[in-house]
Amino acid sequence: MTHARAEMQPAPGHKCPQCGSDCCYRFGKNGRFLSCTGYDVPPAAVEPEGHDGVYLLYKAKGKARPKIIPKDGADKLGWKSLTKKDQAAFQQLSDAMPERCKYAAPIDAEGDPILPKVTDIVCPIDGEQMQLRTGRFGPFLSSPNYPDVKFVLNLDPRKGFIKLPKTPPIPLEKQECPKCKAPLYLRDGKRGLWLGCSTFPKCRARPSMKDFDPKRKEALQKAWDKHQADNPAPEIRTRDGRLLTDEDKYVPQIIGEVEQGG
């Protein structure tokens, strides 16, 4: 029996707005969604030296190595078990394969894509008006040039207001989490500086700073002030120039809808 998430169904009448290929329906954690058939790059048949039979080589994802699996579906072949010659040849073969098309979109009850909506929020990276999209973790705002422009704004899941970006935490490499021994992060919150595990949410340890002597607290505060000056959080503004603050709890205004293929 095929797992529901592994199934792929045709999506008649839907073409990928990015590459023009046919679209299909796939299944993810949040249910069915529209995807480009160009995401699946057909594997190439290879015969690794020192290994019997024909194997299927799948294009590498990102910086990972190509995946090599026997045609019978057994365990994949380890990269280190290949000869240097095969490693070079197979990596070159993978690099020459076409790039995956990563187009995907949530769908409505009729199976049509839910298109991004244009908002009154200006992207601080490229100056474009941000679009309301829906991802695996819920709604968010992004540039129309996303994912090339990676900056996003998350929204409160219940009330829909913008969660403004914060200065990134400071890794404290010499201070370990008392629970899992991972490095601690120094963060700033409504009640001041606090420590948290760098592996959050996997580890939710929050060591107290109450027992720190005044000099140590002062040193951490100075380090944070410098870090904040060197890494300021981007300012978020509406298209009429209004600067948003945490107190605003601003809900982005919808001013239009992106056309299919736009």
pLDDT for 169 = 95
Do residues 79 and 91 touch, judged by C-beta distance below 8 A? no
13-to-18, 26, 31, 107, 257 alpha-carbon distances in Å: 15, 16, 20, 14, 21
Which pLDDT score, from 0 to 100, does residue 152 have?
Answer: 97
Torsion, Cα 136 140 146 152, to 10 degrees, reads -110
Tally Cβ neighbours within 10 Å of residue 25: 16
Q: Taking the model in full, what pTM does it have?
A: 0.61
Measured CA to CA in angstroms, residue 135 lies from 9, 56, 82, 115, 206 at distances of 21, 32, 39, 12, 29
Q: Are 6 and 23 in contact (CB under 8 A)?
A: no
Helix (H, G, I), strand (E, B) or coil at 6: helix
Q: Write down the pLDDT at residue 5.
A: 44
- Name the nearest CA neighbour of 175 among 137, 148, 206, 142: 206
CA distances in angstroms from 49 to 39, 70, 93, 230, listed in the order given: 29, 14, 16, 53
CB 237 within 8 A of CB 122: yes
What's the burial of 190, exposed, middle or buried (CB within 10 Å: 0-12/13-18/19+)? exposed
Averages of pLDDT over runs of 10 residues in the chain (262 residues) are 60 92 90 91 94 92 89 84 96 94 88 92 97 85 92 95 95 90 91 92 90 91 95 95 96 85 52
Listed in order, strand segments (DSSP E) in the chain are: 8-15, 22-28, 31-36, 44-46, 55-58, 67-70, 104-106, 117-122, 129-135, 138-142, 152-155, 162-163, 170-176, 183-189, 192-197, 237-238, 254-257
- For residue 261, what pLDDT is reported? 54
- In the chain, residues under CATH classification 3.30.65 are 170-230
Q: What is the pLDDT of residue 260?
A: 61
With CA atoms as reference, report the closest residue to 42 among 83, 98, 87.
Answer: 98
2-9 long-range Cβ contacts below 8 angstroms, 24+ apart: 5/29
Place of tokens 């024909």: 54
Q: Distance between CA 92 and CA 72 in Å, rounded? A: 24
pLDDT value, residue 137: 76
Query: Does CATH number 2.40.50 belong to domain 170-230?
Result: no
Nearest to 137 by CA among 153, 118, 157: 157
